[in-house]
Amino acid sequence: MGLYLVTGGAGFIGSHLVHALLQRGEQVRVLDDFSTGRRDHLLNILDQIELVEGSLADPHAVDRAVEGVTFILHQGARPSIQRSIHDPFGTHEANATGTLNLLVAARRAGVSRVVYASSSSVYGDTPALPKEERMQPEPRSPYAASKLAGELYCQVFQRAHGLETISLRYFNVFGPRQDPSSEYAAVIPKFITAMLAGRPPTIFGDGKQSRDFTYVQDVVETNLRALEAPQAPGSVMNVACGERHTLLQLVDLLNDILGTDFEPTFAPMRQGDVRHSHASTVLARGLLGYEPSVSFREGLERTVEWFKRHG
């Protein structure tokens, strides 16, 4: 037992973690500034959690959030490769400085373990597949660089101060509650909401780029395992399905699930986008006993059903 802090707990992945911890009977505190998180993700559980409204970039808010905490699941960040290219300072402050603020407060408060949400974007566009953790990172955007900086800070705080840290490199997470409305939104919610509204999805590039799409339930399970795994501290590991699908295949699958027949429209490839993404999950299997439990099609079917109900 102990008190669990979920940063970014009103966000897509963070809110799923909050619900999962409550289902286990844990005490949960959330730190969120609601810049991208949404209150309605927590609406039915507000009376079961502590909520600290504040920014990771504000050391005082972070100190309040960390006080008395045993474990931290650090999901809070400013997402989007494209946004980071337009506003690198804002991305750095939220992601790199925010993570440093959190680690400083965690060390001071005697936190037992920090599990940090990193990103597959740190690999860049290296042609070798699958991506393995021992590969040299080659970030192509300020977002990727800020996530890599967070990983390095986690490792430094473990080596220098004995604060247990684990970094999880997420690969293209999708599922219920993912926001489709922003111009920076992820591809699956954008495609689903467009097709449900009777519009063809827009692909940036030729559609042959591939992604290792990972259902959010598997990401939640990996975080919970990382909190307890005895050999995991100090490590960086991929969290993925371990297979890849092109965006053209994604459109075909969604057409099949929805009973539609849309042909995508195409737009120019965006700056900073990676051509292919495919993860090795050997390390997570070895250290955490991780096995993906939800297939790509099943995850898409669940996500489509959620958007039909909440559209």
Mean pLDDT of 126-140: 95
**Closest-CA residue to 164 (of 110, 205, 121):** 110
How much is the pLDDT for 183?
Answer: 63
Coil, strand or helix: which one is 253? helix
Cβ neighbours for 89, distance < 8 A, ≥ 6 positions apart = none
Q: How buried is 240 (Cβ within 10 angstroms: 0-12 exposed, 13-18 middle, 19+ buried)?
A: buried
| pLDDT interval class at 126 (50, 70, 90) | confident
| pLDDT interval class at 129 (50, 70, 90) | very high
| pLDDT interval class at 270 (50, 70, 90) | confident
Q: Is the pLDDT of residue 184 over 70?
A: no
How much is the pLDDT for 274?
Answer: 84
Q: Is the pLDDT of residue 185 over 80?
A: no
Cβ neighbours for 175, distance < 8 A, ≥ 6 positions apart = 12, 16, 215, 216, 217, 299, 302, 303, 306
Q: Is the pLDDT of residue 311 over 80?
A: no
Contact 109, 68 (CB under 8 A): yes
How much is the pLDDT for 294?
Answer: 95
| pLDDT interval class at 109 (50, 70, 90) | very high
**Closest-CA residue to 56 (of 182, 150, 172, 133):** 150
Q: What is the overall mean pLDDT for the chain?
A: 96
Mean pLDDT of 124-137: 94
Q: What's the rounded Cα separation, in Å, for the pair 144 and 169?
A: 11
How much is the pLDDT for 225?
Answer: 98
Contact 177, 127 (CB under 8 A): no
Spatial strand order in the sheet of 3-7 = 50-53, 27-32, 3-7, 71-74, 113-119, 164-170, 236-239
Give the count of beta carbons closer than 10 Å to the beta carbon of residue 60.
11
- State whether CATH 3.40.50.2300 applies to domain 3-171+216-242+279-293: no
CA distances from residue 201 to 185, 191, 193, 204, 260 in whole angstroms, order as listed: 13, 5, 9, 10, 12
Q: Is the pLDDT of residue 221 over 90?
A: yes
